[in-house]
Amino acid sequence: MDVEPSRTVQGARVWDHTAPGFVALSVWTERIAGRGEDADPLIVVHWPTARGLIAVFDGVGGAGRASAGSTPVGQERTQAWVAARRLRGLVEEWFVDGPSVDALHDKVVTRLAADITVRSRMRGRIHREFPSTLAALAFTMRPDGVRWDVVWAGDSRCYVVEPDRGLQQLSLDDVDGSDALDLLLQDPPMTNMVSVDREFALNRWRGQAPAPCVLVTATDGFFGYVSTPAQFEHVLLDTLWFARDPAHWGELLAERVAAYTGDDASLAVVALGFKGFGNLRASFGERRNLLRHEHDEPLRAAADRGEDAVRTARSDSWRKYRGGYEQRLAMVVGEDDR
């Protein structure tokens, strides 16, 4: 189901919703007007069961640039563009219909490219038909916290952010290698993503955290063009710090990401267990200051001293940041019962 954005700013779209103990926000931007291959971020909640889902979808243009056809007004759409949007619909339907990840996999296999007969002659290990990433976080709100099932394919990511522990990655990119700073610098090709012409895996992992906390899903346009992994958290919390309300936070995020990204970028956020937006902002004030002093300011100072200094500052930042950022990845095989 499509929902009208609450704000549209220079082509970016922002949605927000607030309820007691609940703040939801999503942001969508495109690098080239009219050609954005990310689908709109998805946020759905079923209040009677206290279940919800946030998800993002990045149509992979590098793997699926072939045309899937044209719109009624003659605008050509790539397979990647179509795949991300159809996948969004299938994930929303999956949330409503039933919880089995296998059922979602079956839906995607049978329906992602249904009724589209266009096929490219292009082949090779990079190429895919109707390729898209998926990063989805299905959650259940409880009085003492939140439990989640993370489902992903590709290099879009799921995170949890806790006021005292900061940003923690919950999904492992489907690429060769796992060092987040290396991945940032190398941008390697994906080894797995949703598509219709070959087998793909929907990775899954279950975890939980005490309330209050923030759940995040994002495409690589948000986290893949910053200097260090810490910088993405700084972008999230620094914009939160200056925001008047959820929609304004979304506006600031859209403005900030447009200034640094080289890709389409989308993000979905739910903040659970905070006593309103002011409490959410205040809860992360100390963490934002830490990021600013220990990571952002040293990088800024290094930028004036040349590339070698920037590399050293990046490595220093990652060395200090990595333990907290990866603390839940050590348990990615199995269940995080924290």
Partner 1 sequence: MSQNQNRSGDNNLKYAVDIVLCVDTTASMARMLANVKQSAMSFPNRLAQEMAAKGRGISSLRLKVIGFRDYADCAEDAMVVSPFLRVPDDLDSFEKTVNALHAGGGGDEPESALEALALAIGSDWETGLDRRRHVIVMFTDASAHRLGDPRHTSAATYPQSVPGSLEELYAQWGSGQSHSARMENPAKRLLMFAPESYPWTDIADDWNNTIYFPSVAGEGLEEWEMDQIIATIANSL
Six token digits for residue 254: 């859209």
Q: DSSP string covering 252-307, please?
A: HHHHHHHHH-SS-EEEEEEEES-SSHHHHHHHTHHHHHHHIIIIIHHHHHHHTT-H
Between 153 and 299, CB nearer to partner 1: 299
**What's the CA gap between 176 and 245, in Å, rounded?**
40
287 interacts with partner 1 by CB under 8 A: no
Between 209 and 252, CB nearer to partner 1: 252
Tell me the CA end-to-end span of the chain in Å, nearest whole number: 34
List C-alpha distances in Å: 58 to 41, 223, 306. Answer: 10, 13, 34
Q: Site for partner 1 (CB under 8 A): which residue of 29, 239, 266, 283?
A: 239
Q: How far is the CB of 206 from partner 1 (least distance, A)?
A: 27
Question: Residue type for 302, please?
Answer: A
42 contacts 279 by C-beta, under 8 angstroms: no
Interface region with partner 1, contact rule CB under 8 A, candidates 7-15, 50-58, 89-97, 294-302: 294-302
206 contacts 140 by C-beta, under 8 angstroms: no
Q: DSSP string covering 7-66, please?
A: EEETTEEEEEEEETTEEEEEEEE-SSTT---BPPPEEEEEGGGTEEEEEE-BB-TTT--S
Question: Residue type for 270, please?
Answer: V
216 interacts with partner 1 by CB under 8 A: no
197 contacts 131 by C-beta, under 8 angstroms: no
Q: Which residue has the tokens 């012409």?
A: 197
Question: Residue type for 213, please?
Answer: C
191 interacts with partner 1 by CB under 8 A: yes
Q: What kind and span of H or E run contains 203?
A: strand 203-210
Count how many Cα atoms sit within 13 Å of the Cα of residue 169 in the half-sphere of its side chain: 25
Q: How far is the CB of 299 from partner 1 (least distance, A)?
A: 4
Q: How far is the CB of 177 from partner 1 (least distance, A)?
A: 7
3 interacts with partner 1 by CB under 8 A: no
Q: Site for partner 1 (CB under 8 A): which residue of 132, 156, 168, 228?
A: 228
Q: How far is the CB of 318 from partner 1 (least distance, A)?
A: 13
Interface region with partner 1, contact rule CB under 8 A, candidates 89-97, 135-143, 227-235, 279-287: 227-235
Region 96-135 residues binding partner 1, contact defined as CB under 8 A:
121-127
Q: Site for partner 1 (CB under 8 A): which residue of 1, 259, 330, 333?
A: 259
Q: How far is the CB of 290 from partner 1 (least distance, A)?
A: 14
194 contacts 108 by C-beta, under 8 angstroms: yes
Q: Which residues pair with 38 in a beta bridge?
A: 58
Between 233 and 336, CB nearer to partner 1: 233
Q: How far is the CB of 204 from partner 1 (least distance, A)?
A: 22
Q: Name the residue among 121, 128, 92 with its Cα closest to residue 107.
A: 92
231 interacts with partner 1 by CB under 8 A: yes
Q: Site for partner 1 (CB under 8 A): which residue of 238, 247, 283, 325?
A: 238
Region 142-181 residues binding partner 1, contact defined as CB under 8 A:
175-177
Between 22 and 260, CB nearer to partner 1: 260
Q: Site for partner 1 (CB under 8 A): which residue of 8, 10, 100, 186?
A: 186
Residues that bind partner 1 (CB under 8 A): 31-32, 61-62, 65, 121-127, 175-177, 184-189, 191, 225-228, 231, 234, 238-239, 241-242, 252, 255-256, 259-263, 292, 295-296, 299-300, 303
